[in-house]
Amino acid sequence: MSANDQVEYRLFYGIYTTHWFENFGTFANQKYLLVNEYISDGCLTIDSSEASVTHDFLYPSAIKKTYFIEGRIEGHITLASSECTAHATDYTVEVWKMNEDNSSTLLATTGARTIDWDFGWDAAYSVPDADTGDVVFPFFIDVTEEKELGEHDRIFVRVIVTCDSCCHLMHSNDSSWEDLKVDIPFRLG
């Protein structure tokens, strides 16, 4: 990185839309999306999905004709119990690009992070336990070698959780919770 390069951090939130979808490359009818700002909380979205399924959150727009990811990616994911006590052993967060030729390239990863967490469930009220039922897990990824993207590439964030079916990945469209958040450093110069 030269002295004239400027790094711009862009904050993205993961949401799941119900009636809107994006198509790009191998993503067909993609409803898991990254957004720069939460859309109206009155919009119909889905708050969570079973965490044991791999989730890809697509940012459907180009940032610039040519740009780079370089620096420290950071953010967090939120996991919670749903309908019963849940257990998760680890999670991985990855940043990918969907290339112009429809191939995908891994740009950065946390690697598998051991959590070995029991998420409590309050059966009396049918809600996650107040103390252990939902937990925010932070992540940090250092990208020391620049990763180039072009105007025909798109980024997506992949979340992989090893857990049972009662564990859910949260992606509420709610700025007070910020369930899935990622801050990515782009070098635009």
Joined together, the tokens standing for residue 140 give 């940090």
The type of residue at 153 is: D
Out of 2.60.120, 1.10.3470, 1.10.760, 1.25.40, which CATH number does the structure's domain 7-187 have?
2.60.120
Q: How many CB atoms lie within 10 A of CB 104?
A: 16
Judge contact between 134 and 48, C-beta under 8 A.
no
Model's pTM, two decimal places?
Answer: 0.94
The pLDDT, as a whole number, for residue 158 is 98
pLDDT digits (tens, 9 = 90+) for 130-159: 888 899 999 999 999 999 999 999 999 999
pLDDT, average across residues 17-41: 93
The pLDDT, as a whole number, for residue 1 is 47
pLDDT, average across residues 77-84: 94
pLDDT digits (tens, 9 = 90+) for 162-188: 999 999 999 999 999 899 999 999 998
pLDDT digits (tens, 9 = 90+) for 81-140: 998 999 999 999 999 999 878 899 999 999 999 999 999 998 888 888 888 889 999 999
Give the start-to-end residue ranges of the domains of the chain.
7-187
